[in-house]
Amino acid sequence: MYGHQSTGLLPDDYPQFFSRGQGARLWDVDGNELLDFMCAYGPNLFGYGDAQIDRAYIDQLAIGDTLTGPTGLIVELAEQFTAMVRHADWAIFCKNGTDATSMALVTARAHTKKKTVILAKGAYHGAAPWCTPRPTGTTAEDKAHQVFCAYNDIASLDAAAAAAGDDLAAIFAAPMKHDAFVDQALPDPAYARRAREICDRTGALLVVDDVRGGLRLARDCSWSLVGVEPDLSTWGKCIANGHPLSALLGSDKARAAAASIYVTGSYWFQAAPMAAALVTLKRVRETDYLERIQGVGQRLRDGLAERATAAGFGLRQTGPVTMPLFLFDEDPDLRKGFFWSSEMLKRRVYVHPWHNMFMCAAMTLADIDQALEAAEASFAALKTQAGSLGPVDKLAFLAA
């Protein structure tokens, strides 16, 4: 198994394969029912197997999906998406987040006729050679013309811009600091404004990578929350509630450049995922889904804080409540986190020991209460074993 779906960096008792999903729940191939806080690593926004969204997919599949060209749904979807995202005037649809971020990179270079991009250290923008976090099989040239800064550090961003000189093509920005293994952080408005100012001064394009955070932080681009609009934004995961679809959105400024690049894919014009996306975006616009996932997320955060404190543990919960991350204090190699996560799994709650998780609109207050009951018992189990936990060998690199 490969990529983020591999359990190679998870506790040994975690299931690798699943048989089905419904709402906020998964069943592994052994038949265990799990309350799932990973939501397929983000694509599940309105629940697995949502009847209305899946019906739109199935009905379109019955009349035409992968055809010689797109159906009219691509136009309707582009119109609805750009009407919802304030900075966007056009859209290109693709399949994966990596497709969208790679198109953003090429579009920025086509627009500026420059090469250098600024990225935040530790930020994830996909699995292509230019951005993969694991360099095996890539070359130094694949990651040439990149300058790195620290997220939310204006001085570091200024230094990166100075290093780029007059060759700056783009600044790539995550919607928040959601790096693996470390605390999350919401964007500092001053940092976001400085990124916008640098791009305006140099002619570079500002790219907000909303593949992970899109529609879980805002109905608009996530940096709309700090009053900053990008030139390009990338979307994926949940925009069709689990059906394969991603997008690059852009302003008129970058339209000519986007039209000039060559990008394509045999399945990029599939109509059925676009039908599902139209229903998904309609529900985003017309329901209180965001406020509901914020509510259940806050209930989870408050309840975990109370129970962790009562058990004598420092539990850091950082970032937005809709994308929770749990890390223990004084746990550099995650031995506490691994043990506690395994205890949660024993109680049929699937959490992740080092990656941010996702709330979905199918989660109920009863689900959160189930998770908190499991957490209380798991904290108690950890308390009895905390002094005797062995190292997590598969994560030994963290200690180094």
Coil, strand or helix at 202: helix
CA distance 221 to 239: 13
CA distance 208 to 119: 11
Residues carrying CATH 3.90.1150.10, the chain = 3-36+288-399
375: left (phi over 0), alpha (psi -120 to 50) or beta: alpha
- pTM for the predicted model, two decimal places: 0.96
Which long-range contacts does 6-15 make (Cβ < 8 Å, 24+ apart)? 8/394, 9/354, 9/394, 9/395, 10/341, 10/352, 10/353, 11/338, 11/339, 11/341, 11/342, 11/345, 11/353, 13/342, 13/345, 13/346, 14/342, 14/345
- Which of the four pLDDT bands, split at 50, 70 and 90, describes residue 398? low
Residues carrying CATH 3.40.640.10, the chain = 51-286
What digits encode the pLDDT tens for the residues 91-141?
999 999 999 999 999 999 999 999 999 999 999 999 999 999 998 999 999
Does an H or E element contain 147, and which? Answer: strand 146-149
Q: Residue 396 pLDDT more than 80?
A: no
Is 3.30.1340.10 the CATH classification of the domain at 3-36+288-399? no
Pick the CATH number of 51-286 from 3.40.640.10, 1.10.1060.10, 3.40.30.10, 3.40.50.720: 3.40.640.10
What digits encode the pLDDT tens for the residues 152-164?
999 999 999 999 9
What is the CB neighbour count within 10 angstroms for residue 171? 29
DSSP-based helix, strand, coil % in the chain, nearest 5: 45, 15, 40
CA distance 255 to 264: 17
The mean pLDDT of the chain is: 96
Coil, strand or helix at 212: coil
- The secondary structure of 10-42, three-state, reads CCCCCCCCEEEEEECEEEECCCCEEEECCHHHC
Coil, strand or helix at 352: coil
- Asked if 207 and 254 touch (Cβ cutoff 8 Å), the reply is no
CA distance 26 to 11: 18
